[in-house]
């Protein structure tokens, strides 16, 4: 019989851990002195402890280990848990490797381009929810004509007694870059106005998103940035890009205050 300290030294498992395993019914001491509460372990229990350590090394939780070791498991169940474990581990490895690539990309960027540390505007990947909107789609001669499209949209909405329930969204229905005769859709989420024919804007599973601050004349710079990012990070564009007008003339006194989000659907190559 060993006291917990001796047993801990023998097994290289901390006393804290042993007490926890006791509490979780993973490894009950062979005897507990009813008066002092001291735990006494027998030499045979090292086998059991080793089983626990093996399961822990495989990455199972202590709770799973308790279920397995307390007998409620068949070989085929164990096999299935191992398969699930393998799947999870493979995913973990992929995830960590991808994260590693991101870190290395940052390091390269610092080495090459000097100290930018964190730019004000960073590209992030996120999903975009589907949303019901009222929208108008048209082929417009030049970019500057998109204002008119939004104006017609606004008139339709107010005429129907509806209200805008979110920021304006613009979708480029072009697969390539064009600067004339552009197929463009302007949309607003609305509330009320049951007469309006709403239409569901599909969600985007993965979109590369970048916030653009300031006048629309500089939007192309942000597009260049996000395009470079997509290329550098091994994504490719797989859908129509959008602009979301988070802050525009109705809340900003100056064009320099405008805030626009660029969303580009992407997929991992």
Partner DNA sequence: CTTGACTCTCCCCCCGGAGGAGATCTTACT
Partner DNA sequence: AGTAAGATCTCCTCCGGGGGGAGAGTCAAG
Instruction: Report the C-alpha gap between 37 and 158 in whole angstroms.
Output: 77
By a kind-dependent CB cut-off of 5 to 8 A, residue 247 interacts, out of a copy of itself, DNA, none, with a copy of itself
Residue 82 binding partner per list DNA, a copy of itself, none, with a CB distance cut-off of 5 to 8 Å that depends on partner kind: a copy of itself
- Nearest Cα to 259, choosing from 241, 243, 246? 246
Decide which of a copy of itself, DNA, none touches 30; Cβ closer than 5 to 8 Å per partner kind.
none
> Contacting DNA (CB under 7 A), which of 192, 202, 203, 234?
192
Q: Applying CB under 7 A, which of residues 10, 25, 50, 63 lies at the interface with DNA?
A: 63
Among 94, 163, 180, 199, which residue sits at the site for DNA (rule: CB under 7 A)?
163
Cα torsion 42, 45, 49, 52: sign: negative
- Contact with DNA (CB under 7 A) among 11, 27, 39, 135: 39
Which one among 28, 56, 137, 206 touches DNA, defined by CB under 7 A? 56
For a copy of itself, the closer of residues 93 and 159 by Cβ is 93
Best CA proximity match to 211, nearest among 184, 173, 246, 253 = 246
Are the C-beta atoms of residues 209 and 127 closer than 8 Å to each other?
A: no
Residue 268 sits at φ, ψ, to 5 deg, of -75, 135
Cα Rg of the chain (Å, integer): 30
| Residues engaged in binding a copy of itself (CB under 8 A) | 6, 9-12, 42-44, 46-47, 50-51, 53-55, 57-59, 68-69, 73-76, 78-79, 82-83, 85-86, 89-90, 92-93, 96-97, 99-100, 102-104, 106-107, 110, 114-118, 120-124, 126-129, 166-167, 209-211, 213, 244, 246-247, 251, 259, 261
Q: Which residues are CB-neighbours of 85 under 8 A, at least 6 positions away?
A: 58, 59, 60
Contact of residue 268 among a copy of itself, DNA, none (CB under 5-8 Å per partner type): none
Contact 10, 50 (CB under 8 A): no
Interior/surface letters 28-42, b for 16+ CB within 10 angstroms, e for the rest: ebeeeeeeeeebbbe
Residues forming the site for DNA (CB under 7 A)? 3-6, 8, 14-17, 19-20, 33, 35-39, 56, 61-63, 163, 191-192
């Amino acid at each position: 019989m060993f006291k917990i300290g001796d047993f801990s030294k023998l097994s290289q498992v901390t006393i804290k851990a042993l007490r926890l395993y006791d509490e979780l019914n993973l490894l009950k001491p062979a005897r507990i002195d009813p008066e002092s509460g001291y735990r006494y372990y027998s030499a045979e229990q090292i086998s059991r402890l080793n089983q626990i350590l093996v399961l822990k090394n495989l990455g199972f939780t202590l709770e799973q280990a308790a279920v397995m070791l307390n007998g409620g498991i068949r070989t085929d169940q164990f096999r299935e848990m191992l398969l699930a474990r393998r799947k999870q581990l493979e995913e973990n490895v992929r995830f960590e490797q991808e994260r590693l690539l991101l870190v290395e990309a940052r390091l390269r960027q610092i080495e090459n381009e000097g100290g930018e540390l964190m730019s004000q505007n960073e590209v992030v990947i996120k999903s975009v929810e589907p949303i019901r909107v009222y929208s108008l789609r048209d082929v417009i001669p030049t970019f500057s004509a998109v204002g008119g499209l939004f104006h017609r949209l606004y008139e339709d909405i107010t005429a129907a007694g509806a209200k805008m329930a979110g920021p304006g969204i613009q979708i480029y229905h072009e697969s390539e870059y064009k600067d004339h005769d552009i197929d463009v859709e302007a949309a607003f989420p609305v509330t009320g106005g049951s007469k309006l024919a709403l239409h569901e804007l599909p969600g985007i599973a993965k979109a590369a998103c970048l916030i653009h601050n300031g006048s629309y004349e500089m939007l192309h710079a942000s597009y260049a940035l996000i395009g470079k990012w997509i290329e550098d990070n091994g994504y490719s564009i797989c859908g129509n890009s959008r602009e979301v007008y988070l802050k525009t003339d109705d809340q900003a006194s100056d064009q320099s205050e405008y805030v626009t989000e660029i969303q580009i659907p992407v997929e991992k190559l």
